[in-house]
């Protein structure tokens, strides 16, 4: 049975997230249905990141072992023919037998987009958290720096989550102003003021990025001091961190495996 590695992009706006549910449409469900139509066989498609409802992906990676005579390029085209236009298989590759997109993932990159402009561009409306008004970027950067490294992130996981192991290594937590789609196309500068927070880690707890963003924005608003981050981490208490930022600003950008890392 051949194994495939799929790189998938999706606009999560209309979906209940990656993971198959008994009610409601999910990305995993759509890809598995498309796979069944293409191959005639039922197969489980395993995603590297179990993105929540409304979260987007530019480079989700999934693995699937399925009986088929299609090669990888044919698989990509056939799946896309059975998927809605807001879910696209960007790439299909054959993978070694036993390849598991989640267990084998070494590093994931998430981006969170925040618009501080008075008005959100129609072209970004589904992909940013609109938080108008100034934010203290230097303080936010200090807060992000305090989160980098290997820490117990229990204070930044979804309330009610109880994974056995809450230690993760956050290799990068950065903030940068970016030109919006609009500025990028040469529009008037009034469309500026998009911020991107980028997070690279060996793994993320449920809601971890959104809890970090909610907390870092509290720092940017001067409601919390960057110096308190270390204490919040040490306290392991979700209630001491900030609110969970909205799902729609979050995007799974890429997943790296041994072969992508040096």
Which of the residues are catalytic?
A: 52
198 binds a copy of itself (CB under 8 A): yes
Residues in 200-219 at the binding interface with a copy of itself, rule: CB under 8 A: none
Please list, in sequence order, all residues whose beta carbon lies within 8 angstroms of the beta carbon of residue 94, skipping any fewer than 6 positions away. 2, 3, 4, 5, 71, 72
Task: Give the span between the Cα atoms of 20 and 18, in whole angstroms.
Answer: 7
Residues in 242-261 at the binding interface with a copy of itself, rule: CB under 8 A: 251, 253-254
**Least CB distance to a copy of itself at residue 89 (A):** 7
When the beta carbons of 130 and 240 are compared against a copy of itself, the nearer one is 130
* Closest to 39 measured CA to CA, from 96, 91, 90, 82: 82
Side-chain-side CA neighbours of residue 107 (13 Å): 14
158 binds a copy of itself (CB under 8 A): no
174 binds a copy of itself (CB under 8 A): no
70 binds a copy of itself (CB under 8 A): no
Residue from 62, 95, 182, 205 touching a copy of itself (CB under 8 A): that is 182
DSSP string covering 207-257, please? THHHHHHHHHHHHHTTSS-GGGHHHHHHHT-GGGS-PPPPGGGEEEEEEE-
Length of the chain: 262
Residue from 119, 159, 230, 234 touching a copy of itself (CB under 8 A): that is 119
Task: Give the span between the Cα atoms of 35 and 43, in whole angstroms.
Answer: 7
108 binds a copy of itself (CB under 8 A): no
82 binds a copy of itself (CB under 8 A): no
**Least CB distance to a copy of itself at residue 154 (A):** 28
What are the residues binding a copy of itself (CB under 8 A)?
7, 9-11, 56, 58-59, 76, 80, 85-91, 109, 111, 113, 118-123, 125, 127, 178, 181-182, 184-188, 190-191, 196, 198, 251, 253-254
């Amino acid at each position: 049975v051949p194994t495939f590695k799929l790189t998938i992009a999706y606009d999560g706006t209309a979906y209940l997230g990656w993971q198959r549910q008994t009610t409601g449409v999910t990305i995993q469900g759509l890809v598995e249905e498309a796979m069944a139509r293409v191959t005639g066989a039922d197969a489980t498609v395993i995603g590297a990141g179990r993105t929540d409802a409304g979260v987007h992906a530019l480079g989700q990676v999934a693995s699937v072992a399925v009986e088929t005579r299609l090669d990888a390029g044919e698989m990509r085209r056939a799946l896309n023919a059975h998927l809605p236009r807001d879910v696209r298989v960007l790439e299909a590759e054959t993978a070694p037998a036993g390849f598991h997109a989640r267990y084998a993932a070494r590093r994931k990159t998430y981006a969170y987009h925040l618009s501080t402009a008075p008005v959100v561009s129609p072209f970004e409306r589904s992909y940013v958290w609109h938080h108008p008004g100034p934010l203290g970027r230097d303080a936010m950067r200090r807060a992000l720096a305090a989160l980098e490294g290997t820490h117990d992130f229990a204070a930044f996981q979804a309330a009610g989550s109880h994974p056995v192991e809450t230690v993760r290594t956050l290799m990068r937590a950065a903030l940068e102003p970016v030109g919006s789609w609009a500025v990028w196309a040469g529009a008037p500068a009034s469309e500026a003021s998009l911020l991107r927070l980028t997070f690279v880690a060996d793994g993320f707890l449920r809601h971890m990025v959104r809890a970090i963003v909610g907390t870092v924005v509290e720092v940017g608003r001067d409601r919390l001091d960057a110096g308190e981050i270390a204490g919040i981490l040490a306290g392991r208490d979700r209630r001491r961190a900030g609110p969970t930022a909205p799902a729609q600003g979050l995007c799974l950008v890429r997943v790296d495996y041994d072969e992508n890392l040096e």
